[in-house]
Amino acid sequence: MKLFRLAFLLTVLLDLFSLFAYFNPAFGNIAFFVILFLMVVLSLENLAWGAVLVAAELIMGSFGYWFSLDFDGNRIPLRLGLFLILMSVTVFRVLQKRDGSFLKARAFHWYLPIFGVIVGASLGGLIVWDNSFSEVFFDANGYLFFALIFPFYFVFRNRANFDLLWTVLGGVVLASLIKVLFLFYLFSHDYWIVAPETYKWIRDTRIGEITQMGGDFFRIFLQSQFYHVAGFWILVSGTFSWIMGVPEHPLTRRNFILGMIFFSLFSASLVVSLSRSFWVGMAASGVVLVGIFLVFFRRRWEFIKKSVLLGLGVSALTCVILVGILRFPWPVKTDPASLGILKDRIEWKTEAAVASRWALLPILRDKIAEHWILGRGFGTSVTYISSDPRVIESSPGGTGEYTTSAFEWGYLDIWLKAGLLGLLPFFAVLGWTIHCGWRRVSAIIEKYNRREVIIREDVFALGLFLGVISLAVIHAFTPYLNHPLGIGFLIIASLFLANGDKKIDECKFLC
């Protein structure tokens, strides 16, 4: 618990330092090198600390510019420095100990084809399709974080290191939740003394997007809020014993209150994100979870009753939190928010961003059809007519014509650039991870049917299984599997789910 509190407090402190560093680049440069120095020291002392710090930065850094180094007019992101240090120390340790077990690991065998896709799509874009190096690098650099499978494997083959990871990430996620809701309060209450500067910090460091949706309701969307989706499902899994009525795990009043508070914080964050992709991904995992309970567990009516009561309680408390923030009496506001904003977000085709996304779909489909097996390589761009007012304003003649190589349709992005042969390894890794997750869930079902104790590891297994399903669905509409945020989560989840108990021989590491 001390480590949890320490992780929370340090994350809040570093976030304040990040804000200060944005307005004081000299301080930012010093902070950048201090953090990297600490990363080197901690990684050399214990590689697990380096891996945990890299994972923690994903939650707070979004695109990696939480801290950055200003060098000759360019910004070098902290994430890149942390990544290179972790990889370097891992290689050093492997060579020092002559540990080649990684090559025998089943995880490596599943991820290896993805590295072939990265190399093939990069060379194809450069040589075959004559795309510029900068365009190819812009496309490929996110995929390079699949190399995290290498250090993460060596760290998390020791299952005890997962306890360290969950404790630290728990504190970081709590800080992230509070940050989202504080930003919601800040912008909904006309704090124009600090709000404009805070907006610039969030925008220019690419931590997230803040948009006024109408009245005093602001959309607070951080790309790393995906980890709130994952955290929500782990918390859902934590109520597993109570929902199923396992007598060995009675729910104390303290744990119930804390659980309801955290449930509501996660829910409130995901509501103010106004991300339909998150909502659809969570709905998919929710359907899977309900199906598991109804098909495989006894006491179905007890499950339905308790789930409905829990859902109603969380929904009510979430509304209290959001309305309480919006209606907090200081400072006085004049323009009330409307719940119609949520309705508009649910109606998929009533908004310029959604219209643009659907306008891109047939163009992508036709482009993919031209070279659907091998793809057109990284750096491939597509031109379409956007409905975004900002694009229309900046386009020649106000036509809305827009050319881009970054697409919201995640799987189609991979298919266009790497072809169907390049898309299959991603489906293979997702399928393998979900399969291992299902094996873990099946073991939990057997435990329940034998009235055995549901342990903490089972909770995380079910939560990560549902999180991976959400990730797989979300990526269809918002790209995460070509970005360190989704890649990092997928690697952690696959290693945890594959490194299961002795009953899951098919998924265990071969090391």
pLDDT, tens only, 475-495: 999 999 999 999 999 999 999
Say which range, 212-216, 277-281, 299-303, 355-359, has the weakest mean pLDDT. 299-303
Please check whether residue 226 is in contact with residue 480, taking contact to mean a CB–CB distance below 8 angstroms: yes
pLDDT over 70 for what percent of the chain?
88
Confidence of residue 212 (pLDDT cuts 50, 70, 90): confident
Summarised one tens digit per residue, pLDDT across range 107-129 is 888 999 999 999 999 999 999 99
Most trustworthy range by pLDDT among 290-294, 336-340, 500-504? 290-294
Residue pLDDT, tens place only, 344-401: 554 444 466 677 778 888 899 989 999 999 999 999 988 888 877 767 777 777 777 8
Q: Does pLDDT of 290 surpass 80?
A: yes
Task: Report CA-CA distances (Å) from 38 to 50, 85, 340.
Answer: 9, 11, 48
Mean pLDDT of 444-451: 77
The predicted pLDDT at position 485 comes to 94
Res. 246: pLDDT tops 60: no
| Short-list 427, 437, 505, 498, CA closest to 153 | 498
> How confident is the prediction for the chain on average, in pLDDT?
85
Residue 92, pLDDT above cutoff 60: yes
pLDDT tens column, 15-31: 999 999 999 999 999 99
pLDDT tens digits along 249-271: 556 677 777 878 888 999 999 99
- The pTM score is 0.90
Q: What distance in Å separates the CA atoms of residue 223 and residue 488, rounded to the nearest whole number?
A: 13
CA distance 206 to 65: 7
CB 411 within 8 A of CB 423: yes
Q: Using CA atoms, how far apart are residues 305 and 103, in angstroms rounded to an integer? A: 49
Q: Return the pLDDT at 54.
A: 96
**Does 505 score more than 60 pLDDT?**
no
**How confident is the model over 319-340, as a mean pLDDT?**
72
SS3 letters across 241-276: HHHHCCCCCCCCHHHHHHHHHHHHHHHHHHHHHCCH
Residue 500 in this model has a pLDDT that exceeds 80: no
With 60 as the cut, is the pLDDT of residue 405 above it?
A: yes
Q: Parallel, antiparallel, or unpaired: how do β-strands 382-385 and 401-404 relate?
A: antiparallel
| Across 182-203, average pLDDT | 84
Q: Can you give the pLDDT at residue 47?
A: 94
- In Å, how far are 49, 86, 235, 270, 312 from 229, measured between CA atoms? 24, 26, 10, 8, 19
β partners of residue 70: 75
Q: What does the pLDDT average to over 330-349? A: 54
Confidence of residue 459 (pLDDT cuts 50, 70, 90): confident
